[in-house]
Structure 1
Amino acid sequence: MQYLKILVEDIHSVVIATNDQNGRPVTRVIDMMLYDNQGVYFLTAKGKEFYKQLINQKYVSLTGVKNKKSISLAGKVRSIGHEKLNEIFEKNTYMQKIYPGDTRSALDVFVLYEARGQYFDISDPAHIERGTISIGNVQTTISGYYVGKGCIGCKKCLDVCPQSCITFIKRSEIMFLNRLKSQKYVFGEKLNDQQLEVLKNQIETADAIVIGAGAGLSTAAGLTYSGERFEKYFFDFANEYGIKDMYSGGFYPFEDMETYWAWWSRHIYINRYMDAPGDVYANLLHLVENKDYFVITTNVDHQFQRAHFDKKRLFYMQGDYGLFQSVSPTIPKTYDNQDIIEKMMEAQGFVRNEKGIFDVPEDKNLLMKIPTSLIPKCPDDGLEMIPNLRVDNSFVQDLGWEEAYERYHDFMNHHQNKHILFLELGVGMNTPVIIKYPFWNYVEKNQNAYYACINFGEAGCQESIAKRSILINDDIAKVLRKLNNQ
């Protein structure tokens, strides 16, 4: 769903291709007006050649590019007449000037309802972001290449891959990914009473619960990267640099390290050292605290520990905002950063409120630089430090990371043939090989296992495990409250 949001709200205008009466490709620029869990919506006038081609061919390809972010989709379309027409005009007010009064009746709404595609963000060439997009009932597509039997596992290729896109997985997992290519993707539905009872029963009867948490979990908890939180803490950066959210700001090429750390100290502080506004993590803990559980997460905001989950049952796969590392990965150590981050916040003019939390001063007079003396240096090699986040092959897996990795795999091996509930929360298709695909593989191999996916707009699984799965396309916070009888 996040990619459809980018398509409609950020890119908006795309090039759509169809074929003319001679079978030759023709293109035109069309605005993407609306999106929901049924697809993406656009308009065209009756009588146009484009309208006729859509009605007859029922298939399009489209590509949109803006600010070095691109989305390409290809799939099935259908007309829904005037359905959603008024909603489209309400959300795209410029259309009211183009088609005033009753003239909008000449338009028909089309929906791209079954499609697949890709997302690319090359705004920072050193950290290219990729994503797979699926709309409707389409087969899962696994892209990429596989190293052959000649691989000896030396991992030297990691040092020369410019985009750190090589993932080491077992041969059995490769076979599993190959099988995914021929399977259909089954989608979830809104929470209902039957789903609720099934999930409650699975939680109560499971021998063990493995929680897989993605960005959608923290978003449901209120840790959003745009909107009110961004506008409060980054209003000055937004005005000065045109940055629209915390995510994109993390890749902005600031002119000096003093400004870079002013940005990053704020980003780290509000996402790592402040509690999530919502009750999501507390409600999740209440469900599993008396169960044998383990958590694997791609989130780096430390909210599981802040909510008092057992530290020995957590594996932060992608790093931790609360840790620094040397820019040189030859130092296999990380360093706690709370003290220096708080000094940076204070130096910019933030003030502590009655709860001891740094807040924006009443006059909103803030600096967008830190003193040069506060730029963090590694105590072991004297080099500059960076957040301990897996953005490239310089990511440091320290002793704590290695121990958490071992505990996770020991837990999985100990329960491999038992009744395990794989509870996936807010995991999208950006890095599915870390949580989603391994969960599917575990469930496929263990007939006693059960898969539960709660993710608004992206709840689904492969067809082969659908009978032992529950797929809830709804708000995670709402579902957790219901599970706790709230």
Structure 2
Amino acid sequence: MTDKYLKILEKIQEADSIVIGASNGLSISEGYNIFVDDLSFRENFGDFREKYNFYNIIQGCFYSYPSEEEKWTFFSRMFEYFLYDKKPSMIMKNLYKLVKDKNYFVVTSNIDDHFTLSGFSKERLFEIEGNCRYLQCSDVCHDKIYFGDEILSKMAENQDNGKIPLELIPKCPKCGGKMQVHIEIDRSFLKDQSWQSSYKGYQDFINNSHNKKLVFLELGVGAKNQMIKAPFMNLVNHEKQATYITVNKGEIYIPNEIYAKSIGIDDDIEKVLRQLVKMKQSV
């Protein structure tokens, strides 16, 4: 295993460009598993579990709530769950330490905003499925998203019997209609100018890295997440100097076509990042 760590560190240090791909496995390593009915879910969302009979956060995101008060009670609670103290985890700190001095770009399907919270540049980040800190018009009447920390925090702090006060429910500044958290839960998800700019930034980064030493560092991306995994594998296959590094506990898949250019570690992401940073600091 030490040889693998050394090889990964060598590839990162030599890289001209690094693309980080992150999905649910990274969140799980931080202690946030949106797909399970675990102790954390029951402690933070137990009342929703009993009242609505859903058993994880992702089900709560897609649930059809009877009222706007109940909908915003859940989403503001989720906001607080992910961002209650606005401090980065040690896992995210170590990831930032590993790449902060490199030419990097991040593409993620996570919605928790833990990358910018940890020091990663917003200009080097593409959040494919949105961010739980932002709001948009549910009817998509205009092309703008809104920073929602203030109102989401107020709603999270003022919940009574599974509802928030009516006066705290946000209304669209343009049409006066309903709003929703800017995450991809239905066809109303707004791919606004900032989303488009982030997507273009990602594409430009890839194009500018053509024929250079390019490392794809994939963290906690499952086989079903083809939004990240498929493009990564395809690019590694076509870029002569590309390296594919995948870390995911319990699920490592590397196709034969890129096997010689790949490194896979089936272990906890927290442990792997901690070890890599320790080795980097000792060099």
* Cα distance, 1:393 vs structure 2: 2.6
CA contact (8 A) 1:223 1:276 kept: no
Where 2:54 maps in the other structure, the secondary structure is coil
Kindly provide the amino acid, as one letter, of the partner of residue 54 in structure 2: I
- Rounded to whole Å, the distance in 1 between the matches of 2:39 and 2:90 is 18
The runs of at least 4 consecutive aligned structure 1 residues that moved more than 3 Å come to 272-278
Map residues 385-424 of structure 1 onto 2, 5 A cutoff.
385-424=179-218
AA matched with 2:134: L
Q: Which amino acid aligns with 2:59?
A: S
Q: Which range moves more in the overlay, 393-402 or 463-472?
A: 393-402
SS at match of 2:62: coil
1:60 alignment counterpart: none
Structure with max Cα Rg: 1
Task: Say if 1:416 and 1:474 are closer, same or farther in 2 by CA, change over 3 A.
Answer: same
Following TM superposition, by how much is the alpha carbon of 1:305 offset from its aligned partner in structure 2, in angstroms? Answer: 0.4
Deviation (angstroms), 1:241: 3.0
* Corresponding residue of 1:212: 21
- Post-superposition offset of 1:380: 0.8
Q: Distance in 2 between matches of 1:367 and 1:391?
A: 25
Contact 2:252 2:265 in 1 (8 A): yes
Return the letter of the residue paired with 1:367: N
Aligned pairs, number: 277
In structure 1, the residue matched to 2:252 is 459
Report if aligned partners of 1:218, 1:276 keep a CA contact under 8 Å in 2. Answer: no
Q: Do the aligned residues in 1 keep the contact of 2:62 with 2:185 (CA within 8 Å)?
A: no
TM-score, length basis structure 1: 0.55
Q: Contact 1:222–1:277 at 8 Å: present in 2 too?
A: no
Deviation string, structure 1 residues 291-326 (Cα, Å, up to 9, x no partner): 111111111110000001122111111111111111
Deviation per residue, 1:339-376 (Å, 9 max, x gap): 1111111211xxxxxxxxxxxxxxxxx53101112121
Preserved CA contact (<8 Å) 1:454 1:476: yes
- 8 A Cα contact 1:454 1:471, kept in partner: yes
Q: Show the counterpart of 1:473.
A: 266
Work out whether 1:482 is the aligned partner of 2:275. yes
Between the aligned partners of 1:422 and 1:446, the Cα distance in structure 2 is 11
Matched letter for residue 225 of structure 2: T
Equivalent-residue separation in structure 2 for 1:391 and 1:240 (angstroms) = 21
Asked which structure has the greater RCO (Cα within 8 Å, sep 6+), the reply is 2
Q: 1:317 to 1:251 in 2, by over 3 A?
A: closer
Cα gap change, 1:273/1:409 in structure 2, threshold over 3 Å: closer, same or farther? farther
Distance 1:401 1:299 in 2: 14
- Could you tell me which runs of 5 or more consecutive residues in structure 2 were left unpaired when the two chains were aligned: none
Contact 1:378 1:384 in 2 (8 A): yes
Tell me the CA shift for residue 228 of structure 1: 3.4
Equivalent residue of 2:170, what SS? coil
Which is richer in helix? Answer: 2
Residue 67 of structure 1 corresponds to none
Q: TM-score with structure 2 length normalisation? A: 0.92
1:233-279 superposed Cα distances (whole Å, 9 cap, x missing partner): 22222233333222222233322221121111101221245447741
Aligned AA (1:216)? G
* Bigger strand fraction: 1
Identity of aligned residues (%): 38
> CA contact under 8 A between 1:221 and 1:277: conserved in structure 2?
no
Equivalent runs, 1:40-439 vs 2, <5 Å: 192-225=1-34, 226-275=37-86, 278-348=89-159, 366-432=160-226, 434-439=227-232
Q: Aligned AA for 1:197?
A: L
Q: Partners of 1:224 and 1:256 in 2: how far apart?
A: 26
Match of 1:7 in 2: none
User: For the structure 1 residues 392 and 258, does the alpha-carbon distance in structure 2 shift closer, same or farther, using more than 3 Å as the test?
Assistant: closer
1:233 and 1:397 map into 2 onto residues whose CA distance is: 30
The one-letter amino acid of 1:467's match is: A
Q: Secondary structure at the residue paired with 1:345?
A: helix
Counterpart residue type for residue 482 of structure 1:
Q
Partners of 1:252 and 1:369 in 2: how far apart?
15
**Structure 2: how far apart are the matches of 1:448 and 1:240?**
54
